Amino acid sequence: MPWQAELPFAFEKTAEGETPRTIALGDRIVPYTLRRARRRTIGLTIDHRGLRVGAPHRAPLAEVETLIRKHGDWVTQKLDEWRERRRPAPLRLGDGTRLPYLGSSLEIRFASGNNQVSWTEGEPTILTLRLRSPDHGEAVLGKALKKRALELFAPRLAHHAGRFGIATPPLALSSARTRWGSCSLKTGIRLNWRLIHCASHIIDYVIVHELAHLREMNHGARFWAIVGHYYPDYRNARESLRTLSGTLPALA
């Protein structure tokens, strides 16, 4: 089942009477701020802070969330519009460029060659791009990162599948801008290769999230109970992913 974490908006510190919450809208987990006030109707607003919902003091939460779901298409469309305004600037790749890599950093080096790469593990890890031309740098880098992502994700998926007591599902990579993973009973699991920019525990959380969908194809209470069983700190990992998602390099 595909899912995505909303990119971080500049949420202000919640004021008295405001409560941060989340709601599942289709395949998305959307954070919102619920503000109780002296008013007669429920209102939805979206700006740089994300989705904000004003509701009467006595309005049941079920009624509030029914209204949000009723306008789910509008909500996700407006969130996407704000996200596009906040996309990071394109990566300026050159000799010495540093990228986030598995919770640490990756230094890019340029050298002459036939569009091959070499990795030197360390702190930082060094990825040398041996290029026919500097113009080939981004394409060669993207290919190298995707290959390394598959090499790193595969054993983590096998490890967590073993914990679930199931055979390791087929693994493929995706290049979606905001979806971190997807799951299908027929085709297996797809992980966003950009997770290579995140720390290992974040990658583990996404893998557990997708494996949990093999049992519950939804984001209901039973689903989150499964995630919590295999990854107890999932709330912090999910919040870290939201924070990181707006800062990752804009590499094709």
Q: SS3 for 62?
A: helix
* Confidence grade of residue 194 (pLDDT, cut at 50, 70, 90): very high
pLDDT tens digit string along 105-123? 899 999 999 999 999 988 8
Residue 221 has φ and ψ, to the nearest 5°, of -60, -40
Domains (range + CATH), the chain: 3-85 (no CATH), 98-245 (3.30.2010.10)
pLDDT tens digit string along 122-159? 888 999 999 998 889 889 999 999 999 999 999 999 99
Angstrom distance (rounded) from CA 72 to CA 65? 10
8-state DSSP, 250:
B
Residues present in the chain in total: 252
pTM over 0.85: no
